[in-house]
Amino acid sequence: MDLTTTYLGLPLRNPIVASASPLWESVSNIRALEDSGVAAVVLPSIFQEQLEVEAEYLARDLARGTDSFGEALNYFPNLRDYNLGPTEYLQLIRKAKAAVHIPVIASLNGSSHSGWIYYAREAELAGCDAIELNLYSIVTDPTRSSSRVENDYFELVRELKHSIRIPLAVKLSHFLTAPVNVARNLDLAGAAGLVLFNRFYQPDFDIEQMEITPRLSLSDSSELLQRLHWTAIIHGHVKADIAITGGVHTAEDVLKSMMAGATVAMMTSALLRQGIRYASVVLADLQRWMEEHEYASIRQMQGSMSHRSVSNPAAFERVNYMRTLSSYVLARKDSPA
């Protein structure tokens, strides 16, 4: 039974990848992922705001006391030993690479060019196998058009791609008017992979304290449907690999992801709920299903249920939409009063 696949040009022993999570700040947990069969790990995200804050602190240190007297030059830090980005993250990359054999992917979370070129190079030098650029941008400016936002993304990807040698994946939002067009342009800009989709954690209102409060909820398999839908549509239109993240909890979810056209299925919520060793259960179930249905390899099923075999995908989607609504109405008619 051949479970191998390829993601970002990296050969993987199976299609299960651990997506970014604070749990992977621990090297022992990353080792446990490898022991449980997980094929690659995306490290926790480092945020653009962290880089900007550290850059501000550096600027303050450099300026402190410089207008006092000549000897104030002694206040300057030794820049040879000073890293502009969060040094702990680079250390995590180095330690993880020394501890495991599976690919280690760094995650950069931001929406502008601030610091990314420099820090992407630093992450590459630290030894990561690839970079996942998490484009998390909430546009609140009414004068900023969608085309301008998207063009900024394409330009950022082009600049990053020309600055590093390791492969670059881009994690997208599902809040896009034309996801296939965006995917195609990111592909042309040099993205080796597309990750569908980012999960946005929306804040809640505390009406007693009149405060905005954070709310985090883990995913479940129902969130997979949107990812399957767009993966099936995008597959065949880009050369970049597609990763599905959000809603992958079972072997069935992994199988659906492969059939839609993904090369890997990423999970974290399932591992948070069930424990890291749960990955080995999913892999065993995956292999059992493939044996029962006489699949020799993962590659054999990849894209088998994508839209590339449909002559008019838009019409197909409309028909499926109407069918879904009709089936619900019929179910209500048949149900007892």
- Nearest residue to 104 (alpha-carbon basis) of 118, 114, 90, 117: 90
Between CA 13 and CA 3 the distance in angstroms is: 6
pTM, rounded to two decimals: 0.82
Listed by start position, the domains of the chain span 5-305, 307-337
Per-residue pLDDT of the chain (337 residues; tens, 9 = 90+): 899 999 999 999 999 999 999 899 999 999 999 999 999 999 998 876 666 554 444 444 434 444 444 444 443 344 333 333 478 899 999 999 999 999 999 999 865 666 678 889 999 999 999 999 988 777 778 998 989 989 999 999 999 999 999 999 999 988 888 999 999 999 999 999 999 998 776 677 888 888 888 777 788 899 999 999 999 999 999 999 999 999 999 999 999 999 999 999 999 999 999 999 999 999 999 999 999 999 999 999 999 998 765 556 665 555 455 565 555 555 555 555 5
CATH number of 5-305: 3.20.20.70
- Nearest residue to 237 (alpha-carbon basis) of 316, 314, 307: 307
